[in-house]
């Protein structure tokens, strides 16, 4: 597919009342996204003005064939970085059947209810999404063909520069610009410890916007990588036991942790997280077993079964930055979530555990 040829058609002006809307949702796998298009006759300014829709849930692992009509409810609207203004991306929640019950992979409702409940605590999140680029043959991008390993040692790839140390920078760059165009709280990027592994950060965002933006940034990444014929994986241990893993650190604070005396409150939150450690570990990745492979105690991780916390400690489950301790206020970092976790679930669990769930 020649993108230059496509450009001729993308440049065609449309009648002024035609807006293309790409509806996006999480499918039954809990990690893959789906999308389909709809022509609207006005620009939806937000989720309330974007019409609801439906799809065939039997083709996405979300319904049986005889009860296939599945509901899409708009949650957030972004500018479309592929077709540009006035076209939009519409991130949706999935509800079973006619729309009464959230689908099993719809954790947004859980998270949003908690964000609403704790609105006055002003929860902020910063999410660090790591990912690995794979060639079409499924082997790491730029890794030697036939199952070979990169020539360079890991410590040279982290924030690395030069073709010997990194691969796939174009995708990282294109994605960054596209996410900013879309209106995401996109914060930054860096090359990661493993060759062809990268990270982007979303934040610091208030409440549900962090997880909404993270999912939309995953969608944009899939589309950008599609242009380059590259496959993106969030698998927590894509290259096996002898290579670094892939996570999504969740940084969290509230108005109280960000105020004087906040360090003591963070210590209280950490105690609560410790008590709930194994409950969280079951939900901190798309698949518990693969996150267990990642959290081996090696490559800057804490062991899966053992909760630890520490200041400036990258081998702990929870790391508090040195500055937070010195200032007596700030935030903490939960290093346990896998690269393929659902940030709706993790952010929701952090709120539920640290701040409580009044309705529970
Ligand atoms: P590192 O790789 O050293 O952990 P990063 O710069 O990749 O650091 O990520 C730091 C994250 O911390 C960012 O996502 C940022 O949004 C987040 N963050 C910074 N301040 C706060 C805060 N007060 N509350 C929540 N998250 C925060
Ligand atoms: Mn059809
Ligand atoms: Mn980081
Ligand atoms: Mn990282
Ligand atoms: Mn981190």
Q: Which ligand is nearest to the CA of 187?
A: 1
* Residue 232, C-beta contacts closer than 8 angstroms, at least 6 positions apart: 131, 132, 133, 134, 221, 222, 225
pLDDT in tens, 159-218: 999 999 999 999 999 999 999 999 999 999 999 999 999 999 999 999 999 999 999 999
40 with 176, same domain? no
> Cα separation of 267 and 200, whole Å?
28
Are both 82 and 164 inside the same structural domain? no
* Residue position matching structure tokens 């509901």: 71
> Do 143 and 66 sit in the same domain of this protein?
no
Beta pairing class for 332-334 and 248-253: antiparallel
Does residue 255 share a domain with residue 143? Answer: yes
Query: Dihedral, CA atoms, 321, 124, 265, 263, nearest 10 degrees?
Result: 30
The pLDDT tens digits for 26-57 are 999 999 999 999 999 999 999 999 999 999 99
Query: For residues 100 and 66, what is the distance between their CA atoms, to the nearest angstrom?
Result: 18
- 259 in the Ramachandran plot: left (φ > 0), alpha (ψ -120 to 50) or beta? beta
- Nearest atom in ligand 1 to the alpha carbon of residue 205 is 16
pLDDT at position 98: 87
Residue 354 pLDDT > 70, yes or no? yes
Overall pTM surpassing 0.80 (yes/no): yes
Q: Pick from 61, 84, 105: which residue ends a domain?
A: 105
Pair 208, 306 in one domain: yes
Note the pLDDT of residue 148: 86
Confidence of residue 1 (pLDDT cuts 50, 70, 90): confident
What does the angle CA 289 – CA 291 – CA 297 come to, to the nearest 5 degrees? Answer: 115
Judge whether 19 lies within some domain: yes
pLDDT at 228: 96
Q: What percent of the chain has pLDDT over 70?
A: 99
Residue 210 CB burial class (10 angstroms; 0-12, 13-18, ≥19): buried
In the chain, alpha helices (H): 3-10, 108-117, 169-182, 209-227, 262-275, 277-281, 288-294, 322-327, 343-355
What is the number of other CB atoms lying within 10 angstroms of the CB of residue 168? 23
CA of 347 to the centre of ligand 2 (A): 35
Instruction: Give a yes or no: residue 360 inside a domain.
Output: no
Q: Is the CB of 186 under 6 A from ligand 1?
A: no
Q: Ligand 1, closest atom to CA 257? A: 23
| Domain end (from 86, 105, 124) | 105
In a domain, 234, yes or no: yes
Question: Does ligand 1 lie within 6 Å of residue 245's CB atom?
Answer: no
Q: Are residues 152 and 64 in the same domain?
A: no
Q: Is 108 in the pocket of ligand 1 (CB under 6 A)?
A: no
Task: Give tens-digit pLDDT for 244-268.
Answer: 999 999 999 999 999 999 999 999 9
What is the Cα–Cα distance from 97 to 197, expressed in whole angstroms? 39
Q: Which of 115, 184, 199, 203 is the best mutation target for the ligand 1 pocket, counting ligand atoms within 8 Å of the beta carbon and taking the most?
A: 203
Residue 83 domain-assigned? yes
For the segment 263-306, what is each residue's pLDDT rounded down to a tens digit?
999 999 999 999 999 999 999 999 999 999 999 998 989 999 99
* Assigned domain for 244 exists: yes
Tell me the best of 124, 126, 210 to mutate to test the pocket of ligand 1, counting ligand atoms within 8 Å of each CB and taking the most. 126
Does residue 331 lie within any of the structural domains?
A: yes
Determine the distance separating the centroid of ligand 2 and the alpha carbon of 118, expressed in angstroms: 41
For residues 286 and 348, the answer to whether their CB atoms sit within 8 Å is no
Mean pLDDT check: name the lowest of 80-94, 145-159, 315-329.
145-159
Quick one: pLDDT band at residue 359, thresholds 50, 70, 90? low
- The answer to whether residues 180 and 83 belong to one domain is no
DSSP per-residue letters across 307-338: --EEET-TTSSEEE-HHHHHHT---EEE---B
Residue labelled with tokens 């036991």? 241
Q: State how far the Cα of 349 lies from the Cα of 123, in Å rounded to an integer.
A: 13
Atom 8, ligand 1: which residue's CA is nearest? Answer: 128
Domain boundary pick from 76, 105, 134: 105
Mean pLDDT of 55-75: 94
pLDDT of res. 356: 96
Q: Is 342 in the pocket of ligand 1 (CB under 6 A)?
A: no
CA–CA–CA angle 170, 301, 171 (5° rounding): 5
Position 360 scores a pLDDT of 53
User: Atom of ligand 1 at shortest distance to CA of 190?
Assistant: 7
Distance 19 CA to ligand 2 centre (A): 21
- Could you tell me the distance, in angstroms and rounded to a whole number, from the CA of residue 318 to the centre of ligand 5? 10
Residue 165 lies in a domain: yes
Ligand 1 atom closest to the CA of 202, numbered from 1 = 14
Query: Do 93 and 232 belong together in one domain?
Result: no
Which CATH number belongs to the domain containing residue 142 in this structure? 3.30.590.10
Angle at 252 between CA 219 and CA 113, to 5 degrees: 70
CATH number of residue 97's parent domain = 3.10.20.70
Instruction: Give the atom of ligand 1 at the shortest distance from the alpha carbon of 252.
Output: 25
Does one domain contain both 92 and 213? Answer: no
Q: Pull the structure tokens for residue 260.
A: 């004087």
Distance CA 267, CA 167 (A): 40
Residues 214 and 239 in one domain: yes
| Residue 204 in contact with ligand 1 by CB distance below 6 A | yes
**Alpha carbons 86 and 74: distance in angstroms, whole number:** 17
Domains: count for the chain: 2
* Same domain as 253, residue 124: yes
**Structural domain contains residue 95:** yes
pLDDT digits (tens, 9 = 90+) for 7-21: 999 999 999 899 999
Establish whether residue 272 lines the binding site of ligand 1, counting it when its CB lies within 6 angstroms of any ligand atom. no
**Residues 215 and 336 placed together within one structural domain of the fold:** yes
Does 356 sit behind a cis peptide bond, omega within 30 degrees of 0 on the bond before it?
no
Task: Give how far Cα 358 sits from Cα of 117, 265, 267, 269, Å.
Answer: 8, 19, 21, 17
Identify any residues that bridge with 339 across adjacent strands, giving them in sequence order. Answer: none
Q: Give the domain extent around 198.
A: 114-355
**What distance in Å separates the CA atoms of residue 348 and residue 252, rounded to the nearest whole number?**
11
* pLDDT over threshold 80, residue 155: no
Q: Is the minimum distance from the CB of 128 to ligand 1 under 6 angstroms?
A: yes
């Amino acid at each position: 597919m020649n993108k230059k040829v496509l450009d001729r058609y993308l440049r065609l002006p449309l009648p002024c009342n035609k807006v293309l809307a790409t509806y996006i949702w999480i499918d039954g796998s809990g990690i893959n996204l789906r999308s389909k298009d709809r022509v609207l006759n006005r620009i939806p300014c937000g989720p309330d003005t974007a019409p609801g829709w439906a799809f065939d849930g039997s083709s996405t692992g979300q319904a049986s064939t005889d009860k296939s009509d599945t509901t899409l409810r708009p949650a957030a609207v972004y500018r479309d970085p592929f077709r540009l203004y006035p076209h939009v991306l519409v991130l949706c929640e999935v509800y079973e059947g006619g729309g009464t019950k959230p689908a099993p992979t719809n954790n947004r409702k859980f998270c949003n209810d908690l964000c609403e409940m704790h609105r006055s605590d002003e929860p902020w999140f910063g999410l660090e999404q790591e990912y690995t680029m794979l060639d079409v043959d499924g082997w790491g991008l730029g890794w030697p063909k036939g199952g070979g390993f990169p020539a360079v040692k890991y410590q040279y790839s982290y924030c690395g520069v030069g073709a010997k140390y990194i691969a796939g920078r174009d995708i990282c760059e294109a994605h960054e610009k596209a996410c900013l165009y879309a209106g995401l709280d996109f914060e930054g990027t860096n090359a990661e410890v493993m060759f062809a592994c990268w990270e982007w950060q979303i934040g610091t965002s208030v409440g549900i916007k962090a997880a909404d933006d993270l999912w939309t940034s995953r969608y944009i990444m899939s589309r950008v990588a599609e242009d380059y014929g590259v496959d993106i994986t969030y698998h927590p241990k894509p290259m096996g036991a002898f290579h670094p893993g892939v996570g999504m650190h969740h940084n969290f604070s509230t108005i109280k942790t960000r105020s004087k005396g906040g360090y003591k409150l963070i210590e209280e939150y950490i105690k609560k997280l410790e008590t709930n450690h194994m409950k969280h570990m079951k939900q901190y990745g798309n698949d518990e077993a693969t996150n267990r492979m990642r959290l081996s105690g090696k490559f800057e991780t804490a062991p899966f079964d053992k909760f630890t916390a520490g200041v400036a400690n990258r081998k702990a489950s929870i790391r508090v930055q040195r500055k937070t301790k010195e200032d007596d206020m700030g935030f903490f970092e939960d290093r346990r979530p896998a690269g393929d976790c659902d940030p709706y679930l993790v952010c929701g669990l952090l709120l539920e555990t640290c701040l409580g769930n009044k309705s529970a």
